[in-house]
Amino acid sequence: MKILGIETSCDETAAAVVATTGDAAKPWAVRSNIIASQTAIHREWGGVVPELASRQHLRDICGVVDRALEAAECGWSDIDALAVTQGPGLVGALLVGVSYAKAAALSLAKPIVPVHHLAGHIESIWLEHGPIPLPAVVLVVSGGHTSLYEVPALGVYRLVGRTRDDAAGEAFDKVARLLGLGYPGGPVVDRRAKLGNDQAVALPRPRFTGPSRSKPHLEGMTEFSFSGLKSAAVRLLQQRQDAGPMTDEEVNDFCASFQRIVVETLVDRTFAAAAALGARSVGIAGGVSANSRLRADALTRGVAEGLPVFVPPLSLSTDNAAMIAAAGLRRLEGGAKSALNFNADPALPMP
């Protein structure tokens, strides 16, 4: 079976073809994964401008789907089903993908399933690695979300904690903007951090009053908060910049110190949740999972704690449509019925 995935929730217009393989060790294979990024358009404004995003999706969607079919060496008649991101995201942006996918499904008489964007990020792990030991704890960490899910069975996503305020990616983007490093901030902070001293700048670690690890109740233990760290970083930077421009070395040190605190918080909370839930594996997905230190630290911690850690490759970490196709396949395998009576939902709850 071949499924066409379509993703337009934010600032990437994406289409991909994913096929079932019949191989239990690796049941799904990416046949094509095309992304038209709008980064250059939004960079000028320092962040995503919703109206510009929807207009650009309109311009790009037909060409992106054509290229996805071409790269997969198939035509419309080879596609057995469609999957599209229903939400959450920017409503105008989502509407472009949803309208396109519904029109295509209707005219071709193909089944279509709506997909939750975060289910897509979670399934990117299964798309890359095949079956991983269950129950798993998966951290979804992106520009809009920082959430921990327990996956007790295939296709079941149980929220066990999330950020009380900002998402981790949002904090990366804000700090990068203040440092004059451009948008999106995560990749450039990651690069500059490699050149800096991660102990050079004293930034506060997010603190929570919650149950201790010896009495593992989940409440308070799996939540995140990045607004305090973000405000402290903003204050420090403003004070420093009042005294004149920062040197490259200072910028590198700031990136390294900030990244260390964010990554330590993410890794600590994820492994605390895994221990409390008796997880047999840990997954990390979403745009921030592209962060080199997060990947390295999580893998090291996994080895120390005897828990296998799974991360998608970089091509499946940031927004893409192959993960949406995978989540669509998961829903179809779970018996989901095709429907056309759904609409884009910017605040779609996780099923």
Summarize as ranges the residues that interact with ligand KG4 (CB under 6 A).
10, 142-144, 169, 172-173, 184-187, 190, 286-288, 290-291, 318-319
142 is a site residue for Zn ion (CB under 5 A): yes
For the chain, give percent helix, strand, coil, nearest 5. 45, 20, 35
Based on CB atoms, which residue is closest to ligand KG4, 92 or 186? 186
Q: Which stretch binds Zn ion (CB under 5 A): 76-84, 92-100, 134-142, 171-179?
A: 134-142
Which residues 79-98 are close enough to bind Zn ion by CB under 5 A? none
- Residue 182's beta-bridge partner residues? none
Beta bridge partners of 163: 224
Contacted by 173, from Zn ion, ligand KG4, none: CB < 5 to 8 Å by type: ligand KG4
Between 251 and 290, whose beta carbon lies closer to ligand KG4?
290
Beta strand 112-116 pairing with 2-7 = unpaired
Question: In the complex, what is the shortest distance from the CB of residue 109 to ligand KG4, in angstroms, rounded to a whole number?
Answer: 32
Considering beta carbons, is residue 128 or 190 the nearer one to ligand KG4? 190
Chain-centroid distance, C-alpha 236: 29
Backbone torsions φ then ψ of 183, nearest 5 degrees: -125, 145
Tokens representing 32 are 């094509």
Q: Are strands 2-7 and 309-310 parallel, antiparallel or unpaired?
A: unpaired
Q: Is 11 in the site for Zn ion (CB under 5 A)?
A: no
- Cβ at position 144, least distance to ligand KG4 in Å: 4
Given 176, 282, 319, 344, the residue binding Zn ion (CB under 5 A): 319
Instruction: Report the partner that residue 270 touches, choosing among Zn ion, ligand KG4, none (CB closer than 5 to 8 A by kind).
Output: none
Task: Give whichever of 184 and 302 is closer to Zn ion, judged by the CB atom.
Answer: 184
Candidate segments 39-47, 86-94, 104-112, 311-319, binder of Zn ion by CB under 5 A? 311-319
How is residue 251 written in tokens? 């910028």
Retrieve residue 314's tokens. Answer: 């970089």
Instruction: Give the residue with the Cβ less far from ligand KG4, 237 or 288.
Output: 288
- Whole-angstrom distance, CA of residue 339 vs CA of residue 136: 30
CA–CA separation, 72 vs 79, rounded Å?
10
> In this structure, what DSSP letter does residue 26 have?
S
